[in-house]
Structure 1
Amino acid sequence: MKPADKLLAPDNHTLVLIDYEGQMAFATHSHAMQELRQNVGLVCGGSKVFAIPTINTTVGEDHFAGPVFPEILEHYPKAEYPYIDRTSMNTWEDEAAYQAIIKPGKKKIVMAGLWTSVCIVYPALSALEEGYEVYVIADACGDVSTEAHERAMDRMVQAGVQPITAVQYVLELQRDWNRPTAGAVSKLMKRYAGTYGIGMQYAERMLKH
């Protein structure tokens, strides 16, 4: 039985994390910031567990937008992983970022970041035009208003982007609890996945009885 080609797997995509910085977060009102940070932590943790090629990019980090979220630095410390700083609002138009994204040679690209209507829409539509399959983690993105976020998602979906969520992303990579990554994924879910994670913790404890 062959799984659908549209499903994400650890070996078939690149993850691009865009502008998770203080200046962008201050004006984000489409999602509660704590929820957004948890979803970002889950995505980053999952990408590390499954060794996904992950590109971290910022905009004007030292003079405008500031450092990235602690949830990203925890999994991708700057001493060990490169961060690409840009001036362009469209990551796809920055030569260094573009080359880093296409270098792994994956035809599927997963994106998440701030803000949805600018820093996600622009590279998502650009990647689509170059023939890539593009997935956007909707609840790990945010914008200045719910309206801005939702209209941006609508625009991308109409163009062919596939919307997913943070929990869906990590579980789609796991897909079978018999795989050796199950313990690490379970730990991530219990930490970041809200009531689902609490449910996993409850089940582990209570099923012992």
Structure 2
Amino acid sequence: MSIKLFAPNDTAILLIDHQVGTMSWARSAEFDDIKLRALALARAAKALDIPLVLTSSMEDQPQGPLLAEFADIAPEEFAARIRRTGAVNALDDPNFAAAVKATERSNLIIAGVTNDVCTVHPTLTALAQGHTVQVVADAGASITKDADEIALRRMERAGADITSTNQVLAELAVDWSSTNGQRILPIMFDLIPS
């Protein structure tokens, strides 16, 4: 079985619903850890010129606003974020689907704030559409550890690769001495627990 590694020139990063309220419902990991990893993925997208698509759901409801730090890291993408009006599956929203299609990338790195809701449904849809998908499991969580494990197993059975933030960043860097490697190293150092 051969596995094709993702490269910056054939990949897009989708960050789904990293909103202040929704993040407080994800209990199988710490809020600050999820936030740190989601922001690291956004930083990597900008550092490596990878298309970044942000989306939120019902920001004026208990889900709350998208993390404000995204505006500092990726101001254009933050301003252009797809504000869904309630579609559970982000890819059911025509604006989000169009934004993903516009990246013209077949490889998708997906992280949603809740793996058992925000991540699982668009992942299954993207796989059915023929995309190759890596789910960054530690940039999200679920309401319980059991719910998280069940969602990750479901996505993996459907054909998604389950990965971590460190794994995917190292894969995109390829070589630490390269320009891309040098751009990714500081982001990875920020992920090391103090």
Q: TM-score of the superposition, structure 1-length normalised?
A: 0.85
Q: Could you say what secondary structure the match of 1:163 adopts?
A: strand
- In structure 2, the residue matched to 1:162 is 161
Which one-letter code corresponds to 1:57 in the other structure? T
Question: Which of the numbers 62, 65, 75 marks the counterpart of 2:63?
Answer: 65
Residue pair 2:15, 2:38 contacting (<8 A) in 1 also: no
- Which digits, 9 at most, give the CA deviation of each residue in 1:8-51, with x for residues without a partner? 10011111100000121111111112221221122111111101
Residue pair 2:48, 2:183 contacting (<8 A) in 1 also: no
Q: CA distance change for structure 1 residues 79 and 107 in 2, over 3 Å: closer, same or farther?
A: closer
Which one-letter code corresponds to 1:108 in the other structure? N
Q: Could you say what secondary structure the match of 1:186 adopts?
A: helix
Considering only CA atoms, is the larger Rg found in Structure 1 or Structure 2?
1
Q: Could you say what secondary structure the match of 1:110 adopts?
A: strand
Unaligned runs of 5+ in 1: 196-209
Please list, as runs of the form range in 1=range in 2, the aligned pairs for 1:17-166 lying within 5 A after superposition.
17-77=15-75, 81-86=79-84, 87-166=86-165
Runs of 4+ in 1 over 6 A off after TM superposition: none
The count of residues paired between Structure 1 and Structure 2 equals: 192
Q: TM-score of the superposition, structure 2-length normalised?
A: 0.92
- Which digits, 9 at most, give the CA deviation of each residue in 1:117-137, with x for residues without a partner? 111111111111111111100
Residue pair 1:112, 1:136 contacting (<8 A) in 2 also: yes
| Offset at residue 162 of structure 1 (A) | 0.7
Stretch moving more, 120-129 or 173-182: 173-182
Distance 1:122 1:66 in 2: 21
Q: CA distance change for structure 1 residues 145 and 52 in 2, over 3 Å: closer, same or farther?
A: same
Distance 2:78 2:154 in 1: 36
- Which digits, 9 at most, give the CA deviation of each residue in 1:31-72, with x for residues without a partner? 112221221122111111101111000000123421112442
Q: CA distance change for structure 1 residues 29 and 79 in 2, over 3 Å: closer, same or farther?
A: closer
CA RMSD of aligned residues (A): 1.8
Stretch moving more, 30-39 or 177-186: 177-186
- Which digits, 9 at most, give the CA deviation of each residue in 1:84-119, with x for residues without a partner? 011201111000000100112111111101211111
Q: CA distance change for structure 1 residues 67 and 136 in 2, over 3 Å: closer, same or farther?
A: same
Distance 1:66 1:51 in 2: 28
Distance 2:168 2:97 in 1: 23
Q: CA distance change for structure 1 residues 78 and 132 in 2, over 3 Å: closer, same or farther?
A: closer
- Which digits, 9 at most, give the CA deviation of each residue in 1:133-179, with x for residues without a partner? 11100100111111111100000001111111101111111111221
| Offset at residue 78 of structure 1 (A) | 5.9
Residue pair 2:70, 2:78 contacting (<8 A) in 1 also: no
Residue pair 2:54, 2:77 contacting (<8 A) in 1 also: no
Distance 2:97 2:56 in 1: 13
Aligned identity (percent) is 27
Distance 2:155 2:189 in 1: 31
- In structure 2, the residue matched to 1:187 is 186
Distance 1:107 1:49 in 2: 20
Distance 1:61 1:69 in 2: 11
